[in-house]
Structure 1
Amino acid sequence: MGNDLISSLSFAAAGMETQAMRLRHVSENIANADTPGYHRKVMTFAETMETGLVEPGKVRLDQSDLAKIYDPGHPLADETGHYDGSNVDLVIEIADAREAQRSYEANLRMFDQTRQMTQSLFDLLRR
């Protein structure tokens, strides 16, 4: 039983760490939404074969087309008056942030419930 409780804590902690990293990348994407030529970062998830824990996978750059912005006065504008914006869609980033936040909170609840169960087990053993 004790090993199962420790495993539960490990799974919950790994989930929280992964979602925190995901939120960091979403924050970077939002911060760079107006940066010319910025490609949004997309994080994958990987499962460790030995333990089954979820870990942050590789971070890759989204290769979808960059927005073409018309601003002839911009220093990066070409002869047609356009320059490459970013491919960050704020609606997608906000949705990703909410999903990561909810996943983080679910892992936090699991961690807290496991901690409470462990405390109850220790209380029973002390009697």
Structure 2
Amino acid sequence: MNEFSKALGVSASALQAQATRLRHLSENISNADTPGYRRKLVAFETAARDGTANVSVGRVRLDRSELARHFDPSHPLADETGHYSGSNVKLMIEIADAREAQRSYEANLKMFDQTRQMSSSLLELLRK
């Protein structure tokens, strides 16, 4: 496997990992008002193959922090005190994480494109 293929593989694995992270972040944002919803956390792992360190998504975990308590006696999930458990999603954190993941995705896409351009430039030089 040549060095260009290795670089493309690393970049592609990072793109896939960030896409998975963005998917889970968007699920968290869309369920921010769902009672009892726990935020999903994505962890990355590196796997060494062929002398390169590819990125992969580890197990998706649920955030075990305390759920928000809301007072609304008319809510169908309210207990005898009139409280129910909301979600533990904080929108500002999720939006900041989504921006970080998006920028990381864009950087890896740029690296993938630059590697592809260098590879095709090398092939053009070798043809001459």
Tell me the secondary structure at the aligned position of residue 116 of structure 2.
Answer: helix
Q: Which residue of 2 aligns with 1:122?
A: 123
When structure 1 is superposed on structure 2, of 104-113 and 51-60 the one drifting more is 51-60
Deviations 1:29-80 (A, max 9, x none): 0011011100000000011133410101110000000000111100000111
Tell me the secondary structure at the aligned position of residue 83 of structure 1.
Answer: strand
Given residue 74 of structure 1, which amino acid in structure 2 is its aligned partner? Answer: H
Given residue 38 of structure 1, which amino acid in structure 2 is its aligned partner? Answer: Y
Please provide the CA RMSD for this pair: 1.0
Structure 2 CA distance for aligned equivalents of residues 111 and 28 of structure 1: 27
In the TM superposition, 1:1-127 aligns within 5 A as 3-50=2-49, 51-127=52-128
Aligned residues: 126
When structure 1 is superposed on structure 2, of 72-81 and 47-56 the one drifting more is 47-56
More strand by share: 2
| TM-score, normalised relative to structure 1 | 0.96
Unaligned runs of 5+ in 1: none
Structure 2 CA distance for aligned equivalents of residues 3 and 110 of structure 1: 16
Structure 2 CA distance for aligned equivalents of residues 49 and 67 of structure 1: 41
Deviations 1:61-102 (A, max 9, x none): 000000001111000001111000000000000011000000
Stretches (4+) displaced over 4 A: none
* Identical-residue share of aligned pairs (%): 63
